[in-house]
A and B are shown apart, each in its own frame.
Chain A
Amino acid sequence: MIALPAPNPATLARRDALVAGLRKILPAADGVIADPVRLKPYETDGLTAYRQMPLAVVLPETTEQVAAILAFCQAQNVRVIPRGAGTSLAGGALPLADAVVIGMMRMNRILQIDYADRYAVVQAGVTNLGITRAVEADGFFYAPDPSSQLACMIGGNIGMNSGGAHCLKYGVTANNVLGVKLVTITGDIIELGGTHLDAAGYDWLGIIIGSEGQLGIVTEITVRILRAAEGTRAMLAAFSSNAIAGACVDAIIGSGIIPVALEFMDRPAIHACEAFAHAGYPLDAEAMLIIEVEGSADEQTAMLERIKEICSAFAPTSLKISQNDAESAAIWKGRKGAFGAIGRISPDYLCMDGTIPTSTLPQVLARIEALSAEYGLKVANIFHAGDGNLHPLIMFDANQAGQMQKAEAFGADILRLCVEVGGCLTGEHGVGVEKRDLMKVQFTEIELDLQRAVKSAFDPDWLLNTAKVFPLDRLPARASLPHAA
């Protein structure tokens, strides 16, 4: 288990006064939650292995309220945890015992849509899919599409620089955000970027996006919206082994074709998702690829023909092209619900998130299989194969003593393997608490020190989402985080 720092006793002792102070900022009856029963559901996010009750939860409705809360917390030297929909698989929204959780879900309005210049201004608590829903009738969409896009909020996407199935073609969050309104720990409201790509000076957005809520709290975001393609079509290609499917992915990418999405699922994943989505997945296959192309009908057909040809060289057990939008929707419903669907075959899972060069895919998959046998824990493999972003799901039973620890050790081995073959620790879920202590596998101490210095520049007392991302040793003196025993 990854250790959390001991809480600051001075903060805990002032709990009632702090809550009273927060209530002055948010007078609405339910704007501040301090009752332990009500706080309980906030103790965890999508990574339920880690749980910690916060001091209080606040639910602001305006940027000004967020600013007032942050100014108050800094004045009182109280730690702060930003939270969106609480879907993080890396424990990004895990509270600390002496921290105030700032829940952004009430800031869920779309403020402006500009089709002429193709951008939308939204509050941080708007869901990822909510943006596309708001513009799709007019033929537009917001490109990054993490699997949890139905529920996850755009503020959290900024924190983790989220990706998704369609990032192969359209890039990740960082490539699709034009500007943000950021509240600093001092309670100042600043604007970074604007309504077009490439702002003057340093790439401030590049620093903020993916900073896991450690530099400030983003309350408003200007996102790029794109004109939707004329049409899309998905194809299912089934294979007789993980390695063969992996080799096929490499061949497709190597051929120079860039499908909009190229997704991989192995046997356990296929079965769990089919039970949920009834999408007609090939239940006899060992591995399956979802390949999506877009464009005019002719373009789609031409691309699919070429992809089919490549697949044929790998003796596919079946190839199926969706015949209509409803079929495509079902195919994606299965893929997007994949993590949750694993709940049908296992009570608990750890979802890993590493990135590897696509050419190493067959080798990495074989190694994961071997590790699975070694640890005696099953794995379902689901991932964005096109850009080498792996999501092996390690299945375990948290009610059995010791299994959680075993699963964590297995996961760490997989991530080390990713770094070993030339990839990295995180694709799109962020570091959070989950991969915090593995950062040293990826970075040298000098690199980490520089990164810590950036955090200190924004947040000298390390109050914002502390105890994540950076290993707890070598923190700057002012961070005053007592080491965990």
Chain B
Amino acid sequence: MQTNFTEVQLRDPAIQVADSILRSCVHCGFCTATCPSFITVGDEDDSPRGRIYLIKEMLESGSAASAPVAFHLDRCLSCLSCMTTCPSGVDYMHLIDHARTHVEQTFRRPWHDRGLRAVLAAILPYPARMRWALRAAGLARPFVGLIPQRGVLFARMRAMLALAASERVVAQGVGDVTAQTVHPAQGTRRGRVLLLAGCAQRVLDPGIHAATIRLLNRMGVEVVIPQAAGCCGALTHHMGKHAAFVAQAGATIRAMTDALDEETDAIIINVSGCGTVVKDYGFALRGEGPDLAGKAAKISALAMDVSAYLLKIGYQRTRPESGLTIAYHAACSLQHGQKITDAPKALLRQAGFRVVEPRDAHLCCGSAGTYNILQPEIASSLRARKLDTLTALSPDAIAAGNIGCLTQLAGAGIPTIHTVELLDWMAGGPCPAGLKS
């Protein structure tokens, strides 16, 4: 597609990147068909091609983002379904990341929007604050009926309380397994990995890390959790809060780098939303000085989703087949962001489950980080659509590799369980809490 940047604009390396991405889009419109927001809203401005156009106009004009541009870019889930579809290989992810930063830097949102974003950015990445917030939300839950039915602000409040008081069954009494740094391999050590402890998942469902560590240890892999590596920065990154992202990601990268040794096979990530961002550190932090940029690239190169690592080292089941049917829900960050589609299904089959997949598996469930709080209307419509296709399969449980999806899809009468918990169970671990009930 034709672009109109001035020579001066093109001296900015970030604009150069944006220009080459825009030029690779031929405006064919294929991507519109698989975009969850376009399918839900039915407006070119809420399609990938429309957003690419909006971003092109905004960047070419060199001016501040306008309210309509912010509005339509905010409605993008960053699910990256458009990238899977695009025949031309348009790098939408880096374009929207750039645009979100531009919006955050040049556009002043309404007070309540700004406030909510600030609150989310101040709580979610910090486990201690998040625990506190969940308790407070639990206390507020009985008053949910008092929240007015109309207005985006109130819809967001209701969405937040609903998530905080999720009916999802999680393992109790696990404690914080991430407090311990080294989890030694059982038997002969076959490998050594670092595990990203992260933030929200650790609070919402500590059983996932516990299962990951148990399973890897049992398979002869030493798991090391660098204590100073917290939030990966995905949350602030997707809000366009670049400085906060660099601070969070930088801390995690340095902690990870310090813990690396010659024998480290991989950095394991079991939240695919984080995995997509960690794998992109090398690009996202390329302008943050040679030291951090170099380390970032190295961390990105080592990052692996837990499913890919398990498949590589050879997972094996030890328990008899359960006879259970598992509906595999492909998290967007895994299927589109990291292009990992077969590994989790192959592992679940190896674990003896009957694996089924919903229709329109490429569509997002509406979780998308904080999207379900910020855009409750589109998110709940996508949730309903996804649950319809999942329940049509009458599965015993829904498996996914991303805590956001697990929370989003909970509450419909089917347990939602992290893939790794099911794998751990069939290899000798405890039955996942969600299945016991």
Contact = CB atoms under 8 A, between A and B. Distances in A.
Interface of A: 30, 33, 35, 37-38, 40-42, 44-46, 48, 59, 85-87, 103, 105-106, 108, 125, 127, 129, 148, 150-152, 273, 275-276, 337-344, 347-349, 398-399
Given A46-B28, A151-B29, A337 B44 contact: no
B86 interface: yes
B340 to A, nearest CB: 16
B57 A108 contact: no
A37 B24 contact: no
Nearest to B360: A133
Contacts, number: 118
Across the A-B interface, give the 8 residue pairs with the lowest CB-CB distance, nearest first: A343-B88, A340-B87, A337-B87, A398-B2, A106-B42, A343-B26, A41-B50, A151-B33
A82 to B, nearest CB: 14
A336 to B, nearest CB: 8
Contacts of B49: 41, 86
Contacts of B114: none
Interface residues of B, number: 37
Contact of B53 (A41, A87, A273): A41
B160 to A, nearest CB: 24
Given A37-B68, A151-B32, A105 B42 contact: yes
Interface string B236-272: 0000000000000000000000000000000000000
Contacts of B24: 343-344, 347
Given A125-B42, A151-B33, A276-B89, A40 B3 contact: no
A143 B187 CA distance: 60
A361 to B, nearest CB: 25
A35 B87 CA distance: 31
Interface string B82-121: 0001111110000000000000000000000000000000
A42 B43 CA distance: 10
A33 B45 contact: yes
Interface string B62-79: 000010110010000000
Interface in B303-350: none
A343 B90 contact: yes
B427 interface: no
User: Which residue, B26, B38, B39, has most C-beta atoms of chain A within 10 A?
Assistant: B26
Interface of B: 1-3, 23-34, 38-39, 41-45, 49-50, 53-54, 57, 66, 68-69, 72, 85-90
Nearest to A88: B29
A86 B53 CA distance: 13
Given A125-B42, A129-B33, 15 more contacts: A41-B45, A41-B49, A41-B54, A45-B27, A86-B44, A103-B43, A105-B42, A108-B42, A152-B29, A337-B30, A340-B87, A343-B25, A347-B2, A348-B1, A348-B26
25 contacts: A33-B43, A33-B45, A38-B45, A38-B72, A41-B45, A41-B53, A46-B28, A59-B43, A86-B29, A87-B28, A127-B33, A129-B33, A148-B28, A276-B87, A338-B87, A339-B28, A340-B88, A341-B87, A342-B26, A343-B25, A343-B28, A344-B24, A344-B89, A347-B23, A347-B26
A44 B68 CA distance: 19
B287 to A, nearest CB: 25
A452 to B, nearest CB: 31
A106 B27 CA distance: 20
Contact of B30 (A30, A38, A106, A148): A148
Nearest to A101: B44
A85 B31 CA distance: 11
